[in-house]
Amino acid sequence: MKIQSTALGLLKAPLRIPFKTALRTVTELEEITVQLVDNDGFVGWGSVVPTPAITGDTQECIRADLTAILALLRRAQIEDVWNWKSILPEGQTFSRSAQCAIDVALHDIAARKANQPLWKWLGGYHWIVMNTNMTISVDTPAVMAQRALEAARAGFKSLKVKVGLNAELDKSRVLAIRNAIGEKISLRLDANQGWTEAEASALIPWFAEMCGPIDFIEQPVRADALAAMSRLTRHSPIPIVADESAMTLEQAKKVLQEGAAHALSIKLIKAGGVAEARAILDLAFAEKIPCLMSCMFEVGAGLQAAAHLASMHPAVHWVDLDSAEFLSQLPYQGGVKFTGPEIRCSDGPGLDVNLSGSLSRIAVL
């Protein structure tokens, strides 16, 4: 594959409601897009949302890295999209966010050239309808309960509840949600590293007794606190999911070796693209570890690729790809269909999405 031209763009759209976690608050979508065109005219799209609070990658850093990588791509011959990173200079580091956008775009082109949807090109055998949870952002107990009730009325059968800003208040938040929606809808709690080990040890059994059913607790303590994660995993009545502790394949291996989680959360941006995320899923499947396919609040090509990967991989037990629900309408055409809790991947080639409307914002390279 020879890349003939490249471009950068920016998707921007206001959110219907703010997205709040223990680490950040988002009020507007701002997603950097990448367009690659090969010498046969096939177009591939990639995208990435800067999340410096989680990955450390700022928008300025990502744009600079993308500009440098795109220059390398235009001079290179890509023989294998799974190993395209071999063109990167030794000793020079690039953000995983930038690498993710390039990786998704190259996989998009490869699948389009094969005239297959990405899920099929990745090895999937059949088309499925997936169900995502709906995320309930951190807020007052009353506001969170109301938003949970609205999500339940919209057909969501599971809710991912953001906690971690105040351990005692988290009890009131989750209990208010459970009282509002009843017991038929499962909860998934995500602390985003917000609790201490002592707080997590006290809270988790309380949640299990008072607020069930609960599918899992995601990243209860700091990402680097693997010993604490291991202790919590051994004693928790609710499955513990590693997220920020298992961003890369090597980190995922370490988490599993130390028994620091019952399950893994996979995000393309933190992994660095489809190839690395697929490798983590393959590892988890081999170790009989269930996975959550999640996102970093992107809605463009990155979210599309995550949905395609989730739809074909047997390690994916839960889906958390709900960021499109926070927009009044998607700022592009085609691609995966998000209808409330239902996610339907396209049968069109590649990602079957067109993000060209974003390219007017940043000059073609």
Active site residues: 162, 267
The sign of the dihedral angle between the CA atoms of 234, 235, 237, 243 is negative
* 183 three-state secondary structure: coil
Question: Could you tell me the end-to-end alpha-carbon distance of the chain, in angstroms, rounded to an integer?
Answer: 19
Distance CA 242, CA 228 (A): 12
Q: Token pair of 165, please? A: 């800003």
Distance CA 250, CA 272 (A): 12
Q: Please name the residue ranges forming H helices in the chain.
A: 59-75, 96-113, 118-121, 141-153, 167-181, 197-210, 226-235, 249-257, 268-271, 274-286, 301-312
Rounded to 5, what percent of the chain is helix, strand, coil?
40, 25, 35
For 45, residues 6+ apart whose C-beta sits below 8 A from its C-beta are: 33, 34, 35, 36, 104, 105, 108, 300, 301, 351, 353, 354, 355
CA separation, residue 154 to residues 174, 179, 235, 288, 342 (Å):
19, 17, 35, 33, 11
Q: Token pair of 225, please? A: 């606190």
User: Angle at the Cα of 355 (from 330 to 335), degrees rounded to 5?
Assistant: 60
The answer to whether the CB of 302 falls within 8 A of the CB of 48 is yes
The answer to whether the CB of 215 falls within 8 A of the CB of 318 is yes
Q: Token pair of 100, please? A: 């993710």
Distance CA 343, CA 303 (A): 11
Distance CA 263, CA 245 (A): 11
